[in-house]
Amino acid sequence: MSDERTAGAGRVTLVGGGPGDVGLLTVAARDALATAHVVLYDRLSPHANLRELSPAATLINVGKLPGNHPVSQTGIEDLIVSHALAGAHVVRLKGGDPYVFGRGSEEVLACHANGIPVSVLSGVTSALAVPAAAGIPLTHRGLSHSFTVISGHAPLAVNELQALCLLGGTIVVLMGVGTLPTLTQGLIRHGMTPAMPVAIIENGFSQNQRTTIATLATVLTEAALTKVSSPAVLVIGQVVTLAYSADASAEELMVRASRLTDLVPAAGIGVRGAE
Ligand code: SAH
């Protein structure tokens, strides 16, 4: 692709950049970045070596901090549209997958409204990859055959809590640190055992990745003790008993959690570190 921008020839590629590790960028994501004229990137996207990946592009940080939005969603959409209308190939680089709590569809609609060609490249979502980085699978034969990914941005309604308790599978919560108290109390109130294992994985794929393991009953105390903060992925379910970590403190917490919960793992599945 040439560097020439021709009015009317602009286009937009929404790129899911994965949970922060450059190694989890897809080949398609790298190709899109390599041909971008403008890259608009988020705080949780893999932007450490963006200059190498997009050597000729104008790089614009639209990153949002919790409670502090440097560029509003409308502002981001205006930037995407104006650069594309000026003829640029605009790459909108997002953390994880653009269609998992990423507001990607709003940006696609903004492109459609302005007649701009837009494509979406799926990325590795933190909902799956961050638990995996802590050794936690979302499904495991005999332990869980479904998983539900929910946003903790706002407290859940009663019928949602009831449904989650009835479903019995793994629950994955994004943006859930702030609403952890209402979620854990709500699940217990609607029938989930207080002994249900919970993992909180902060800063996945970074130097500061940390796993806290507890139960529904103990997680608030543990989270306060370890001063858990965002970004973090919460996992609630029996699959948490499969967690491992190179971090010794996580192993210790695991042993503690297994004692507290009196867990009876499914046949053939041990609680690591508890033997
Ligand atoms: N589209 C993204 C999610 C955006 S919502 C995706 O598919 O991953 C932002 C939330 O994602 C954060 O609050 C946190 O819950 C989670 N998250 C994203 N990256 C993370 C990381 N590296 N470590 C832990 N949590 C992460």
Q: Is the CB of 205 under 6 A from ligand 1?
A: yes
User: Any idea what the Cα angle at residue 97 is, between residues 141 and 170, rounded to 5°?
Assistant: 25
* Model pLDDT, residue 256: 46
* Model pLDDT, residue 8: 75
Q: Are 205 and 19 in contact (CB under 8 A)?
A: yes
pLDDT along the chain (275 residues), means of 10: 70 97 96 97 91 96 71 94 97 97 96 97 98 94 95 96 96 97 97 97 95 96 95 97 65 53 38 33
Rounded CA separation 174/103 (Å): 14
42 labelled catalytic: yes
* Model pLDDT, residue 206: 94
Q: Are 17 and 49 in contact (CB under 8 A)?
A: no
- Token pair 């909180």 is found at 200
* Model pLDDT, residue 267: 33
* Residues found in the chain: 275
By DSSP bridging, strand 89-94 and strand 38-41 are: parallel
What are the angstrom distances between the C-alpha of 85 and each of 11, 74, 215?
8, 16, 52
Cβ atoms < 10 Å from Cβ of 158: 10
Q: Is the CB of 73 under 6 A from ligand 1?
A: no
Residue bearing the CA closest to ligand 1, atom 16: 174
Q: Are 144 and 241 in contact (CB under 8 A)?
A: no
Q: Is the CB of 62 under 6 A from ligand 1?
A: no
Q: Is the CB of 152 under 6 A from ligand 1?
A: no
Catalytic residue among 42, 94, 192, 254: 42
Catalogue all structural domains in the chain, each as residue range(s) with its CATH number. Answer: 11-124 (3.40.1010.10), 127-272 (3.30.950.10)
Rounded CA separation 225/146 (Å): 31
Catalytic residue among 94, 97, 175, 192: 175
Q: At what angle do helices 158-167 and 180-189 cross, to 10 degrees?
A: 60
* Model pLDDT, residue 9: 84
Rounded CA separation 256/233 (Å): 21
* Model pLDDT, residue 65: 60
* Model pLDDT, residue 243: 86
Rounded CA separation 112/103 (Å): 15
Rg for the chain, CA atoms, rounded: 21
**98 CA → ligand 1 middle, Å:** 11
* Model pLDDT, residue 252: 58
Rounded CA separation 74/93 (Å): 16
User: Edge-to-edge, what's the strand order for the sheet holding 147-151?
Assistant: 147-151, 170-174, 232-236, 197-202, 210-215
Please state the φ and ψ torsions of residue 120, each to the nearest 5 degrees.
-120, 125
Q: Is the peptide bond before 231 cis (omega within 30 degrees of 0)?
A: yes
Nearest atom in ligand 1 to 203's CA: 23
pTM of the complete model? 0.87
By DSSP bridging, strand 38-41 and strand 58-61 are: parallel
**What separation, in Å, do the N-terminal and C-terminal C-alpha atoms of the chain show?**
59
1 labelled catalytic: no
